[in-house]
Chains A and B, each alone.
Chain A
Amino acid sequence: MKHTLSVLVENRPGALSRITGLFSGRGFNIESLAVAATLDPTLSHLTLVTTGDDFIIEQIIKQLNRLVDVYKVVDVSEGEYVSREMALVKVRAEDETRAEVLRMCDIFRCKVVDVSPKTYTVEVTGPQSKIQAVIELLKPLGIKEIARTGTIAMVREKKTV
């Protein structure tokens, strides 16, 4: 099962490699990882996607909590959450396909962020499934390069009327 973990960690040198080292040292896999500072510059927020059964996920969470620099770990995928990823896709766009690329962008509400005589560079954001769908559809047109951010995620606020 895929799990998305949200980790708050002290913004200190070595903290990130301690976390990734924990995964590699125990043979756990990291599928995606995104890190940036929070409003509090002394803390970083890290979203980590990994897979494993309940037993492994429990171990991962406990092991993360054990690290001296880790402030908080939440398995956001336990409940309702929103997640986003962004990708930049440089796709071949020559005479006959240029319009086709733009049409796709329109359907998926992507943005063209760079144009050259032979390519468009497209920005896509959304849940991972949407990024995947866009990539699959652009593939036949000829993708030259992709850069993806990895997932970021947040627990949904409880809604009461």
Chain B
Amino acid sequence: MAKMTGAKMVVEALKREGVDVVFGFPGGAIIDVYDALDREPSIRHVLVRHEQGATHAADGYARASGKTGVCLVTSGPGATNTVTGIATAYMDSVPMVVLSGQVPTKLIGNDAFQEVDIVGITRPCTKHNYLVKSVEELPRILKEAFYIAASGRPGPVLVDLPKDVQNAKAEFDYPDTPKLRSYNPVVEPHNRQIERAYRMIEKAKRPIIYVGGGVVIANAHEELRELAEGIHAPVTMTLMGLGAFPGTHELSLGMLGMHGTYCANMAMANSDLIVAVGARFDDRVTGKVDAFAPLAKIIHIDIDPTSIQKNVKVDVPIVGDCRRALQKLVGVMKKAGRPVEAWKDQHAAWWEQIRAWEKRHPLTYKEEPGVIKPQFVIEKLYEMTRGRAIITTEVGQNQMWTAQFYKFDRPRSLLSSGGLGTMGYGLPAAIGAQMAFPDRLVVDVAGDGSIQMNIQELATAMEQRLPVKVVILNNQHLGMVRQWQELFYDRRYAATVFGVTPDFVKVAEAYGAVGLRATKPEEVEGVLKQGLETDNLVIMEFMIAKEEGVFPMVPAGKATTEMLLV
């Protein structure tokens, strides 16, 4: 076998793993890999403007496509700039491989120019990471990195590549399957536990299915739907679970939690059985844990045993792939052969109660003459895209209004930083999603604060000719923080009002994109129409009500039944 350099090996491994696009930013410590990549026509490289952008773009690509996202960065500052993006992917279980350059092995630990212990820095926010010490172990490590990133509960893996390892030569012996005796994620759920779960479902009078991002990751949406329809049970979703079950389905109660619907939170609180699938009982969902669903028994399906029994007591834990677990559960359900009418009868009183809650406090907002309401913009966006767009969001009120008022019917159509809540996520993630799906409509819903965190990536989108649409809901505040200040800090708006905000229309134009603005409700539809029809990068800025809040809201630390309503 002919020998090849470490740098070439990296490119060969990318090819073998089916990688077609890499997001990155070069530097001296990774220049050799860049040189090798430049000679490989089958892999596209997207040059970002900041390494955080590379990680979010790889993340958006991964969430939209289900494939592993890849970034390439240099040592030191290049590597440290990826940390927020890595942590974001880690919290939301996104498969990602980050390749970072490193100073030559003999300089490691010497405070060399642009040296940083990135393996040490990222240890708590990667699923696993490697410092490659010799070119001989590089093929094995690359194989393991891709395998670990995508299997079990997915997550980011970092591989740190010293410059001399990139230059050294060895045989490229790429394993077909990695040999990792210590890493064996449990995929196959336990049959007895599935049987137990079914018997519990059979007895329940007030069941609810509670769905998280795990269902999206496992591509288990079909099976989920079969179960929900089969037992005629209501379904509520976390932010990450939106789209796993159609938001327009009659069984859907929408999102639950801090900004969830009244109905979903009341139904959780009053249920006698929670079937949790790929969701982790995050504090934004449970509110005050002691007061959470006091009467409910809990069945919890998750591929990660650490998620089970972490925040709430679980009666039937099921460790395994969500899809396999739901398939098995549906299998048991079908074998039992109970007609759906029987389920409907059993849950009739429950549904009556649920419909009453829905009627009492539907998701709504107050219109004000002459003022653009953000919810109205999202409703119109939903109508005009017929729910077909891939939506990314930034973080804050813009994110929550999107979650509430855009009805996600399909998985992988909402890309949002749920776990870490990273401002600046949406634009680069939209770039990644558009790279994965050049023909689909990709919209980033942004706040005026968040968009400024990675606004430099407009250049990346222009360079790649990506017709991403950016909807800025401009309330001239860091809205979500302002809302907390309004409610809990006597309206002292400490540091939530910008003294200077750029003219976003001109910003768009400065990058060669199209900028549009609406200041009155009558202009909203026109701007959206024009923006969505324009085959270019477009920023649509909507000057919205300055002090609009996101409601319902469960104040932090309160029970989920103690909602503030519109």
Contacts and interface: CB of A to CB of B under 8 A. Distances in A.
B310 A68 contact: no
A13 B182 contact: no
Contacts of A69: 128, 182
Contacts of B127: 68
Contacts of A62: 305-306
Contacts of A68: 127-128, 148, 180, 182-183
A18 B306 CA distance: 16
Contacts of B181: 71
Interface string B118-130: 0110011001110
Contacts of A63: 306
Interface residues of A, number: 19
A18 B182 CA distance: 14
A97 interface: no
B131 interface: yes
Contacts of A21: 123-124
B364 interface: no
Contacts of A10: 182
B124 A25 contact: yes
A87 to B, nearest CB: 31
Contacts of A25: 124
B92 interface: no
A33 B316 CA distance: 34
A127 to B, nearest CB: 30
Interface string B418-439: 0000000000000000000000
A14 B119 contact: yes
A65 B305 contact: yes
Contacts of B309: 55, 58-59
B131 A13 contact: yes
B306 A14 contact: no
8 contacts: A13-B131, A14-B123, A14-B129, A17-B120, A25-B124, A55-B309, A59-B310, A63-B306
B115 interface: no
Nearest to A42: B181
A13 B128 CA distance: 12
A17 B310 CA distance: 23
A71 B183 CA distance: 7
B304 interface: yes
A70 interface: yes
Q: Which of B127, B131, B181, B183 has the most CB of A within 10 A?
A: B183
Nearest to A64: B306
Contacts of A159: none
A54 to B, nearest CB: 10
Interface string A89-102: 00000000000000
Given A13-B131, A14-B131, A17-B123, 6 more contacts: A17-B120, A21-B123, A21-B124, A59-B309, A62-B306, A68-B148
A106 B133 CA distance: 51
Interface string A6-22: 00011001100110010
Nearest to A12: B130
Interface string A29-64: 000000000000000000000000001001100110
